[in-house]
């Protein structure tokens, strides 16, 4: 599927986007890189940063999820998840986990879902990060590796595939890939001098029934139609 572009908005070209979500009219964004990682609230229309807090310089920010009034922000190799008040960004506690942290989303009800760059997703208890179950993601018998940023959309999990211009639609019960969003034609200027500036970042606006997508150090945030719309 090639989605229609509904709108284009400015995005901070210095933001190494690792996690993205939409809540209460604003985008919440986790940015990465050591010494540059942050948690941000962003005006989706202008790209202006409304609120931001830096992460410690020795951690690399990764996926971001929202559940029960809290924000959960992963780190790449540091095994630390920072938990904040959703409104104030006040840090409430830390959780730990095994392996790397890449993407994070929630089912909106009880569990978080974590990717680590493999073809497996872990469903986690948000209270202690206990692994409730593991889901192997596959398409036609082939494992889909390099799953990265995640977003829960109408009973499906959308996932960026790192270093690819596609988003896969995953059945959260079976792990089957239900389809693909081809985002290779998004009109972001080429980043020939920055191989890390790849597609990454998916946020779903429930009320508007639209997706926001961007990339690491991209200058544009795109509004697109959701799958099946």
The residue ranges of every structural domain in the chain are 5-225
The mean of the pLDDT values for the chain is: 95
The matching CATH number, chosen from 2.130.10.10, 1.10.3720.10, 1.10.510.10, 2.70.70.10, for 5-225 is: 2.130.10.10
Closest-CA residue to 129 (of 63, 43, 208, 176): 63
Lowest mean pLDDT among 73-87, 97-111, 177-191: 177-191
If you write DSSP's letter for every residue of 68-116 in order, what string do you get?
A: TTEEEEEESSS-EEEEEETTT--EEEEEE-SS----EEE-SSS-EEEE-
- The predicted model scores a pTM of 0.96
pLDDT digits (tens, 9 = 90+) for 26-52: 999 999 999 999 999 999 999 999 999
pLDDT at position 1 over 80: no
Taking a C-beta distance cutoff of 8 angstroms, is the pair 169, 3 a contact?
Answer: no
Please name the residue that has the structure tokens 């596959």.
138
In whole angstroms, what separates CA 209 from the centre of its chain? 17
Q: How confident is the model at residue 61 (pLDDT cuts 50, 70, 90)?
A: very high
pLDDT digits (tens, 9 = 90+) for 103-154: 999 998 999 999 999 999 999 999 999 999 999 999 998 999 999 999 999 9
CA-CA distance, 30 to 47, in Å (whole number)?
14
């Amino acid at each position: 599927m090639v989605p229609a572009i509904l709108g284009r908005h400015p995005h901070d070209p210095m933001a190494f986007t690792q996690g993205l979500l939409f809540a209460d009219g604003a985008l919440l964004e986790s940015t990465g890189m050591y010494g540059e990682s942050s948690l941000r609230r962003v005006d989706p229309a202008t790209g202006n940063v409304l609120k931001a807090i830096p992460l410690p310089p020795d951690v690399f920010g990764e996926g971001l999820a929202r559940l029960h009034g809290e924000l959960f922000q992963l780190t790449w190799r540091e095994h630390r998840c920072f938990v904040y008040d959703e409104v104030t960004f006040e840090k409430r506690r830390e959780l730990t986990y095994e392996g790397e942290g890449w993407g994070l989303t929630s089912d909106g009800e009880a569990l978080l879902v974590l990717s680590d760059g493999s073809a497996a997703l872990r469903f986690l208890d948000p209270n202690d990060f206990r692994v409730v179950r593991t889901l192997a993601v596959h398409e036609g018998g082939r494992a889909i590796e390099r799953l990265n940023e995640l977003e829960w959309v109408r009973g499906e999990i959308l996932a960026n595939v790192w270093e690819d211009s596609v988003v896969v639609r995953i059945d959260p019960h079976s792990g089957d890939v239900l389809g693909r969003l081809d985002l290779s034609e998004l009109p972001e200027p080429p980043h020939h001098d920055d191989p890390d500036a790849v597609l990454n970042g998916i946020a779903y606006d429930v009320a508007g029934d639209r997706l926001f997508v961007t990339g690491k150090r991209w200058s544009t945030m795109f509004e697109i139609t959701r799958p099946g719309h």
